[in-house]
Amino acid sequence: METVASFEIHYRQYLNAEGRAVDELPEFAKDADVLQRFYRDMVLTRTFDKRAIALQRTGRLGTYASSLGQEATYTGLGHAMQPRDVLAPSYREHGTCFVRGVPMSDILLYWGGDERGMAFEKAKDDFPVSVPIATHVLHAAGAAYAFKYRKEPRVAVAVCGDGGTSKGDFYESINVAGVWVLPCVFMVVNNQWAISVPRAKQSRSETLAQKAVAAGIPGEQVDGNDVIVVKDRVEVALTKARQGGGPTLIEALTYRRHDHTTADDASRYRSRQELESEKKKDPIERLKHYLIAEGAWGEDQDRQLSRECEGEVDAAVDQYLNTEPRAPETMFDNLYESLPTLYQNQREELQAKWKRHE
């Protein structure tokens, strides 16, 4: 008998749960201004998240997917990407979108049922939110193929959850990316729960990062609650892909502290003890403790930041609530290049009924 293949999966972390450095920090993380910017983006994302849930609970927003507890993963990813890279998100990457210049009011518009919220001004080539699980990972592979074909120094980034790695779309995407050596990064946000199904019941793989082995591409695991390591390792993977080195799979270990969406009740399937234990790994508190220990942050600054974030979210909510809704017949606008007669008749009938209603 002989061994024909073997592999290792490495786990990386810079800041532990107490906010102490456990390894030599990368150069960018030695700049207090950079870390303060990361911290601000994470606090803003959480402030937005709380308000969005409140809007949904009071009937002013549709079903909403919270990112509570996952802010470091999404902020780190956003800061690692370059403006011309392309993001193919699932439905929880609001923090990444904000870093990439998407207004908070646009995200509210989308969850309020208005597709204009996905017509990004600054991140024009980013894909819209994908509610279907893992189908967008295929889209990212397709975009990456286009970049390679055109010889453009751009990378497509697909983000999916742990549950998404159980879908055939995911395996097909990483396989074709490996075969064609595509400029693509696959970010698996392992928040431990695929709606109500725990990680242990989804896969017998010891890690989700090792699923990269079957596709012949590198895979690694990082602490998803450590914004520094997320930014660092994603940036390394992006640089490699941009230089023709092919795809990478990164598994970010984090935890979904809210319900799956506002249509869910997580208390039915997970214990309060588990939730309380995960709160101790809070990504925002972790970075805050580090900054304070380094003399780069203080409680007065923290209170000021909270006020600023509340003000920004207030302005975004006002803009969202004061946006004139689209006429109902516009639901037909982007179905076909030329609308078939049947649908054209339906559109005109709906338009007439709406005018009478008004």
Beta-bridge partner residues of 159: 187
Q: Which alpha helices (H) appear in the chain, and where do they start and end? A: 32-57, 71-80, 94-99, 104-111, 135-150, 168-179, 212-215, 227-242, 272-279, 283-293, 299-321, 341-357
- Distance, in Å, from the CA atom of 123 to the CA atom of 109, rounded to the nearest integer, reads 16
- Distance, in Å, from the CA atom of 288 to the CA atom of 151, rounded to the nearest integer, reads 41
10 noted as active-site residue: no
Token pair, residue 167, equals: 């879908």
- Distance, in Å, from the CA atom of 201 to the CA atom of 222, rounded to the nearest integer, reads 21
Selected catalytic residue, list 256, 258, 286, 347: 256
Selected catalytic residue, list 11, 20, 116, 269: 269
Selected catalytic residue, list 260, 286, 289, 347: 260
Q: Which residues contact 316 (CB under 8 A, 6 or more apart)?
A: 48, 103, 104, 105, 108
Backbone angles phi, psi at 21, to 5 degrees: -70, 130
Q: Which of 117, 114, 116, 91 is nearest to 103 (CA)?
A: 117
- Distance, in Å, from the CA atom of 117 to the CA atom of 312, rounded to the nearest integer, reads 18
177, 181, 328 from 141: Cα distances, Å: 6, 10, 34
Backbone angles phi, psi at 83, to 5 degrees: -55, -35
- Distance, in Å, from the CA atom of 256 to the CA atom of 68, rounded to the nearest integer, reads 6
CB atoms within 10 A of CB 172: 15
- Crossing angle for the helix pair 32-57 and 227-242, to the nearest 10 degrees: 100
Q: Which of 119, 118, 84, 112 is nearest to 100 (CA)?
A: 84
91 noted as active-site residue: no
136 noted as active-site residue: no
Backbone angles phi, psi at 261, to 5 degrees: -140, 180
Q: Which residues are catalytic?
A: 256, 260, 269
